[in-house]
Amino acid sequence: MKRIYSLLALLISFTAIAQNNYRFSVDLTKCIDDKLTIELLTPAVSTSEVIYRLPKMVPGTYEIYDFGRFVSDFKVLDAQGNPLAFEHIDKNSWKISDAKKMAKITYRVEDTWDTDIKEKFVFEPGGSNFEADKNFMLNTHCLFGFFDEMLRTPYEINITHPANFYGTCSLTDVTYKGNMDTYHVPDYYQLQDAPMMYDVPDTTILNVGGAQIIISLYSPNKVTTSKFLAGKINEILVAQKEYLGGTLPIKKYAYLIYLTATTGGSGASGALEHSYSSMYFLPEIKEEQLAQTIRDVSAHEFFHIVTPLSIHAEQIGSFDYNNPQMSEHLWLYEGTTEYAAGLVQVKYGNMSVDDYLRIIENKMAGAAGYNDSLPFTVMSRECLTKYHSEYNNVYEKGALIGLCLDLKLRSLSNGKYGIQELMKDLSKTYGRTRSFKDDELFDQIVKLTYPEIGEFFKRYVAGSEPLPIAETLALAGIEFGGQSKEKEITLGGISIGLNPANNHLVIVNTANMDDFGKAMGYKEFDEIVKLNGKKLTLDNAQTVISAYMAKVKEGDHVTIIVKRKKSEKARAKKVKLSSKVFAVIPARKSNLVLSKNPTEKQMEVRNAWIGKH
């Protein structure tokens, strides 16, 4: 018996050493102190020294987060369980000596949502949440790593979970056995692109355009259900199906939605896109308000199935997780995606033309707070460093670039060709497995379209000229009207920008300040610190302000804390500004209206652009 046992042990040891995949295990029933233990049976390596890493950054975040910060108790063992030497060479990397003897790595991971680590907080949809017996939000890049030069090696992920839990994920090669789920993934790129949510299930499945759509919801106070949200999401999905030609270019997609009754550590809410799923962190607000938020956010996130899934640069296709390089085409990834998220709603009947024109106005007002002479390609390429404070302009000017490009194409083609058709053609030219070179994309688009588009890119995207908004909107019979006569609730008619010295939000212009803004007492160069007690930062401003505007009504009381200087050399002091909320006639000069007597050509472009209304 002893001899047979020794031989069996030798065979097991050999198997552990010789396997050709990563074999991870994690037990969700053993979450202690908000930490999970990760075990890895390592793939065979051919070198005497290897480096194991967790990502410094992942696609879609545009932030350096250093996910290795949350790892502790790192150990490397041989087949007999003996420790091997290693060196922790930076926040995310461990250099392992005697790597050919390596059989197992173990470590503990702390969740990012509830952490004592005081460095940069991870925006919740990009992080992890471990709530024993309640909910686990597992962004795979927070838990599982890779060896250098081995990102294309297959992965096996074994997750043990409570018996009443269900795991939602976009991955399709899954084996279920009791309370263990085993995921088989071709490589790290696809593993990192597939977040998971485990909890007691509230899940609804839709079938739209040939794709299975899973909506999985965690709502601690049961303010809504996945069935209700699925009905609202379905409206957008049907419109997006039509926008994309009648079918969806995927087989499965997962919405992982976590609702919270409290403010998260980032102070923000929102979502992070993936190729076949998106993860949401949103407040538990009234059901109908939540539905509109879900509709708006999901319209954007879902369109990432086009960019960057089917159209992406080399920097995305072979993403360097620990030395990330940025593409110069954020106008495409985020800008045209944000543009399409609004366009699809008006074009297919989920939004009125007036509401859509207000969206364009808001994009114009938002873009006014950024450096309009900075070439968008330059900002994109250096958005992690020199121009980080300009990044959020991708959702403002980036969307306007999409608008101008679309209308220019529609005009040149007599309405027959626009961004919808361009994205289809680019998807055929490239696709999931083929990346474009940054410096070749504009030329490729010109080949597919018109020489005039090359001039557009040269002047307004790679160049420093302001976008020709008025001239372009006129192509569809849209013009700037006079003073609006309808009252509405505003934040005061102020223009908000950024102080590049400290990345704080600052009031850059009060020229269009309305009566409510005057009642509040804003002054130019006020730095906005808090809105109704919620801290405002570069990362959360859009979310906090949008949530406030969605709920506020006349008669409410609003308080804004600003930092104000009495003179240029004086020290800034906090000042409390407050007023009862009342509706005003906006003082904006960018009121967009439909032309009263559009030409036949303008109507041709307009109808092809936003549909007949």
Per residue in 16-36, pLDDT (tens digit) is: 445 789 999 999 999 999 999
Angle at 537 between CA 531 and CA 541, to 5 degrees: 65
Per residue in 502-538, pLDDT (tens digit) is: 657 888 778 778 899 999 999 988 989 999 988 887 6
Kindly state the tokens that stand for 209: 């355009």
Across the range 29-57, mean pLDDT stands at 96
Token pair 């007999």 in the structure block, residue: 80
Arch. (CATH architecture) of 495-580: Roll (2.30)
Considering 4-18, 140-154, 567-581, the range whose residues carry the highest mean pLDDT is: 140-154
Per-residue confidence (pLDDT) for residue 290, from 0 to 100: 83
Q: Which CATH number is 314-478+595-610's, of 3.40.630.30, 1.10.390.10, 3.40.50.300, 3.90.1170.50?
A: 1.10.390.10
What percent of the chain is modeled with pLDDT above 90? 62
Beta strands in 54-202 (DSSP E): 71-78, 86-90, 93-96, 102-110, 128-131, 135-138, 146-147, 155-160, 166-169, 174-177, 180-185, 196-199
Considering 166-175, 272-281, 319-328, 484-493, the range whose residues carry the highest mean pLDDT is: 166-175
Per-residue confidence (pLDDT) for residue 53, from 0 to 100: 97
Q: Which of 159, 154, 158, 215 is nearest to 190 (CA)?
A: 154
- The pTM of the full predicted model, rounded to 2 decimals, is 0.80
Across the range 484-505, mean pLDDT stands at 73
On the question of a common fold for 203-303 and 314-478+595-610, the answer reads yes
Per-residue confidence (pLDDT) for residue 589, from 0 to 100: 53
Contact 268, 543 (CB under 8 A): yes
Q: Cβ–Cβ contacts within 10 Å for residue 581, how many?
A: 17
Per-residue confidence (pLDDT) for residue 483, from 0 to 100: 60
Kindly state the tokens that stand for 453: 């588009």
Mean pLDDT of the chain: 89
Kindly state the tokens that stand for 253: 């997609």
Instruction: Name the residue ranges covered by the structural domains of the chain.
Output: 17-198, 203-303, 314-478+595-610, 495-580
Per-residue confidence (pLDDT) for residue 544, from 0 to 100: 82
Q: Which of 257, 309, 307 is nearest to 283 (CA)?
A: 257
Per-residue confidence (pLDDT) for residue 469, from 0 to 100: 94
Q: Is the pLDDT of residue 15 over 70?
A: no
Across the range 220-231, mean pLDDT stands at 93
Kindly state the tokens that stand for 39: 């075990």
Torsional sign, CA 595, 600, 602, 603: positive
Specify which residues 135 forms β-bridges with: 131, 199
Contact 324, 57 (CB under 8 A): yes
> CA 413, CA 298: separation in Å to the nearest integer?
30
Across the range 253-268, mean pLDDT stands at 88
Contact 595, 602 (CB under 8 A): yes
SS3 99: helix
**CATH number of the 203-303 domain:** 1.10.390.10
> CA 140, CA 128: separation in Å to the nearest integer?
9
> CA 115, CA 397: separation in Å to the nearest integer?
35
What percent of the chain is modeled with pLDDT above 70? 94
Per residue in 541-593, pLDDT (tens digit) is: 777 887 888 888 999 999 999 999 887 677 888 999 999 999 987 765 558 99
Residues 6+ apart with CB under 8 A from 340: 243, 303, 306, 402, 419
Q: Does domain 17-198 have CATH number 2.60.40.3650?
A: yes
Across the range 302-319, mean pLDDT stands at 83
Q: Is the pLDDT of residue 12 over 50?
A: no
